[in-house]
Structure 1
Amino acid sequence: MEDVREKRRRIVSEIEKKLSSQSEAAVKEKQKEAVDRLFEFANYVEARIALLYLPRHFLEMPIADIMERSYGRKKVLVLPKFDKERKIIRFYKVDDASCLTGKNVEEMGPDPKKCREIPMENIDIALIPGVAFDEKGARIGADDGDFDRLMGKLPLTTRKVAVTLEDQVVAQIPMESRAKYVDILVTDQRVIYKI
C-alpha cells in the first residue's frame, strides 16, 4: 500500500505537470485573479494585522503583489521567524524589504534587529503557504512542518487562509495526525470555506 508521503509526492508531481503545461502568462493571470479575490474577501479586507509568508517553493503563491496592495491599504504585515533549535516562533512587523535578512530563500526572514516584534494574539488573519490543498483545508506545504506548528499556536480567532490556484485544489490530501488545516481557501475561481 502506498504510504502517505508517497501519495503526497505524487499529488505535487501531478500539480507541477498541470501547471507546467500552461503558459507562464496564463499562470500569472490566474495568480492575479486569486489575489484580486483575496482583496474582495471580507475577512482580509477587514483585517488590520495580517501574517504573511516568504515563498519557499515555486508552487506557493507569490506574495509581492499581496504585500504591495496590503501596504496600500495600511495593513500591518507580519512575518514569522522560526527558531527550530529552541522550537520558538516569533512574529515581526515588516515595513519593507529592508527588514529582511538571510543568505538565500530558505534562510530569508525578518531581522529582529530591524523589525518590531508583534504579539501573536494581535494577528487577525494568517495567510498560509502550500503547494496543494483540498476542500477540507488539508494542505501540502514546503515548509518542513513549520506552518503546521504555527497554525497550532495561533489563537482560534485568527483566520487561517490559503491563497492558491484552482489547479492546486485536489479531491483529497492524505494527512498525518499532527497536521493542521486552513479555515478558508481563496482561489482564482472561488472562496472555499472548510466543511
Structure 2
Amino acid sequence: MPFPSDVIRHLAASKRALSSPAATLDDAVRHCDLFTTLDPREDVNAGDDPHPSIIEVRRRERAGGGDLPEGIATMAARLRKRVRFDLLFEEGDAAAERIAKLSGGCIRHALQIVRDAVNEQDTPPVTAASVDRAAAGMQAAFARALPETYVPVLEHVAKTNRFPDDCKEEVKRALLQHLFVLEYQSGAAEPWWAVHPLVERCRKYRERP
C-alpha cells in the first residue's frame, strides 16, 4: 500500500534534516523518529522490522559477560550521527554510551530513550535524570507486558545465551518479538541471545522465588 502524501513529505524532510546531527531539541526529536534512516545499510526497517537492527554491546557469558566496549562505541557513534549529545545532554557524549548500554544495542529502543528524554525538556541540557526516567518508562512497559511464566526461560537465557531445549516455539517467538530477549549475530555462524538489560531490572525478573 503506498504511503499517504503527508508521510512521504515527512520522510523527505527527515532525510534532509539528517545532513548533520541535531543541534536543537526539536531537531533531536525528529532525528530520533524510527522511520528516519541514516543509511540503508545501518538502520534498514528500524521502525517496522519485528527484529530491528541490534548491535552487539555485550559479551557472551562464556567470554565473561559484561559490556563490549567496541560495540558500545559503535552504537554511541550511530546515536551521535543523529544528535549533538555534546551540545544537548548534561552528560555530553557519555549519555550516548549510557543509552547504548541501556538499550542492549537495540536501535529502536535507543532512539526511543533519546526521544523520551529530550521530550522532558523545554531547553537544553537534557539531564541525566531525564535519561533515567526515559529508561524507567521503558522498563515499566516491559514489566507490565512480561508474563511471569516466561521468567524461568529468561533465567536460562541469561546464564547460557541459549534458549532451553524444551522451550516452546511460541514462547521463543514471543520473547524475541517483544524484545524481552535480544538476538545477536556478530558475524558468527549461529546467533546467540541475551536478556534485554531493562528486563533484567524488572522486579518480576529479579525477585522470582
Same fold by TM-score greater than 0.5: no
Which structure would you say has the larger Rg? 2
TM-score normalised per structure 1: 0.25
TM-score normalised per structure 2: 0.23
Higher strand residue share: 1
Higher relative contact order (CA 8 A, sep 6+): 1
